[in-house]
Amino acid sequence: MTQAEDAVPPSVKSASNRDIARVFTDIATLLQARGDTIFKTRAYSRAADTIDNLQFELADAADDEDRLRAIPGFGDAIVSKVQELVRTGRLEFFEKLKAEMPAGILELTQVPGIGPKTAMRAAEGLGIHSREQLAASIESGQFEQLPRMGKKAAQNILRHLNTRMSQGERIAIGTALPEAERVMAALQAACPGIRNLTYAGSLRRHRETIGDVDMLCSADDPGAVMDAFSSLTAVRNIMAKGETKSMVVLDSGLQVDLRVVPDAAFAATLLYFTGSKEHGIRLRDRAINRGLSLNEYGATDTATGKTETFTSEEQIYQRLGLPYIPPELREDSGELAAAERGELPQLITLADVRGDLHSHTDWTDGRAYIEDMANAAKDAGFEYLAVTDHSKSATVANGLSVERLAEHNEAVRVLDNKLDGIHLLTGTEMDILIDGKMDYPDDALAELDIVLGSIHSYMDQDRATMTARIITAMQNENLDIIAHLTTRLIGKRAPVELDFDAICKAAVETGTVLEINASTQRLDLKDLHIRRAMDLGVIFSIGTDSHRMHQFVDARYGVGMARRGWCTPQRVINTLSHADFLRFVSTPKSGRYAFMDRYEHQS
């Protein structure tokens, strides 16, 4: 459990789950193109989905055959292929399959509207092996001659080719969520008869990136909703427009799908389109065992053929003998078993977060005065705010010298006395130096209410060195929180290499807190880290890392990650009241985990 998400896959010996999942997805595509049975293809594609949601790295379990066999959908063939991939970094079966198929099948199927069958016919019949050849063939009018193809279908594919989504990019949730909210507001205004308008899909599950936005609503006149939706000013392309479902691409490149259903079907449809796909499949399996067929409209009794409808998702789960499972947990990663045992966590909510422990001002690289940031934090609903400007080694960020730090503290204290409705804490986001040492002397750190430590330099250290560096830093009594542990920037910078379990163990031993950084660029720790750290007993803070006044609302993204990591409010220090928080930081580090334990038992 380390990094790897955005890193270029190395040639051998470290196939990440994502690498392995991609190979299986590709195998499924090629088998389907070749005409193999759909059930065989589905076995590979289900295995890929399962791997994507796995809570541990297959590379760490490749020698443990029992553990692999215990994974649903893993039989002889899948297990041995996983082992081969982990051990050698390649898969003979896959290489042979690719070699015997026409080139370009995998690239072509990335284009919306082109599936395995069409890709195969294009490659074999027309010698099309790339995106460029496909575009040229459509423009020449040749492509539409293919069986089951035509002028209109071909032109649609060409439009897809020219949109951002055809590149297979996913959009950060920090971009997708506000955009979805704008679309919903515009649609509601244009079509007042709409009820229950909401987003579903990976956005509702709060994944860190979103492929496209699924929306749904109920209304008496679906046609009017479809018209209003496709006429929104933000719409660039209409990809599909039916009686109850339309798909559009916005000017921003974001694809939005909207479905309209009757009120009676709304809950079932919401459940269905919130996913994840795997969670939905498990629910439908469960329904079948109870003599029900679960679909977008309700549950049909397989014996009588009568369809039962529901007014809420809660009711549907109840009908299946389960408590309500929040969307963030619906990843088929143990939530159904936990629900059955009555052991679902009471997830943290945005309302639980009472303070923000990470912010910057114009003293370093922030863009607003301390006072303005404090008022913005208050407006965002926080009771307290730690002002944590950068330390002296962060020269590009105009880091504070020891002298300026003292002035900074004074300025924060003066404002704290002056302002009503928000408490200010003195602090720093201090660089952890190359060898794990602090960037300020201990006596300067001891003056502060709160000290965050961050890696901002020498990010390419090897795993062992980086791990030791961070653990060394955690051993300092003054360092309260490790901020954005892996330093990744989503889609831009790979995470540092580190031994995450060792870091968590050290955090527990030293009484150090790990930050869940809510900045939309970071989301660091991410969901899988948080889930693992929860299991290892770690306590967290949630920080917005705000540099501008409007960024305090980003706390919701941190809460979303935390919820995906099964995190409870009792494990997050800034759910404490201001008074309790002061007690927390005045407790020696060795007593802080126990402090939160007591808090957990009280509430």
Partner DNA sequence: GCCGTTTTCGGCCCGACTGTTTTCAGTCG
- Chain residues that interact with DNA, rule: CB under 7 A: 37, 39-40, 42-44, 47, 72-79, 109, 111-119, 144, 147-154, 156, 201, 211-212, 214, 240-246, 255, 257, 273, 277, 280-281, 284-285, 288-289, 293-297, 300
Rounded to a whole number of angstroms, the minimum distance from the CB of residue 389 to DNA is: 43
Closest CB to DNA among residues 109, 520: 109
Rounded to a whole number of angstroms, the minimum distance from the CB of residue 31 to DNA is: 8
Distance CA 545, CA 562 (A): 16
Closest CB to DNA among residues 156, 198: 156
Using alpha carbons, select from 248, 191, 181, 246 the residue that is nearest to residue 220: 191
Using alpha carbons, select from 370, 348, 362, 475 the residue that is nearest to residue 425: 370
Rounded to a whole number of angstroms, the minimum distance from the CB of residue 328 to DNA is: 18
Distance CA 143, CA 111 (A): 14
Closest CB to DNA among residues 106, 553: 106
Rounded to a whole number of angstroms, the minimum distance from the CB of residue 343 to DNA is: 20
Using the Cα atoms of residue 75, residue 81, residue 85 and residue 86 in order, give the sign of their dihedral: positive
Say how many residues make up the chain.
603
Strand order in the sheet with 292-295: 292-295, 298-301, 307-308
Closest CB to DNA among residues 100, 243: 243
Structure tokens at 256: 């939005």
Closest CB to DNA among residues 301, 410: 301
Distance CA 418, CA 153 (A): 66
Q: Are 149 and 155 in contact (CB under 8 A)?
A: no
Rounded to a whole number of angstroms, the minimum distance from the CB of residue 556 to DNA is: 23
Closest CB to DNA among residues 173, 397: 173
Q: Are 438 and 430 in contact (CB under 8 A)?
A: yes
Rounded to a whole number of angstroms, the minimum distance from the CB of residue 434 to DNA is: 45
Structure tokens at 125: 């019949």
Rounded to a whole number of angstroms, the minimum distance from the CB of residue 116 to DNA is: 5
Structure tokens at 24: 């299986």
Closest CB to DNA among residues 47, 576: 47
Distance CA 395, CA 435 (A): 18
Using alpha carbons, select from 224, 226, 148, 215 the residue that is nearest to residue 183: 215
Closest CB to DNA among residues 275, 366: 275
Burial of 271 (0-12, 13-18, 19+ CB in 10 A): buried
Distance CA 284, CA 282 (A): 5
Cα dist. 441→222, 397, 399, 457, 587 in Å? 66, 20, 15, 19, 21
Tell me, rounded to whole angstroms, the distance of Cα 127 from its chain centroid: 39
Closest CB to DNA among residues 256, 387: 256
Rounded to a whole number of angstroms, the minimum distance from the CB of residue 380 to DNA is: 32
Closest CB to DNA among residues 257, 449: 257
Rounded to a whole number of angstroms, the minimum distance from the CB of residue 89 to DNA is: 21
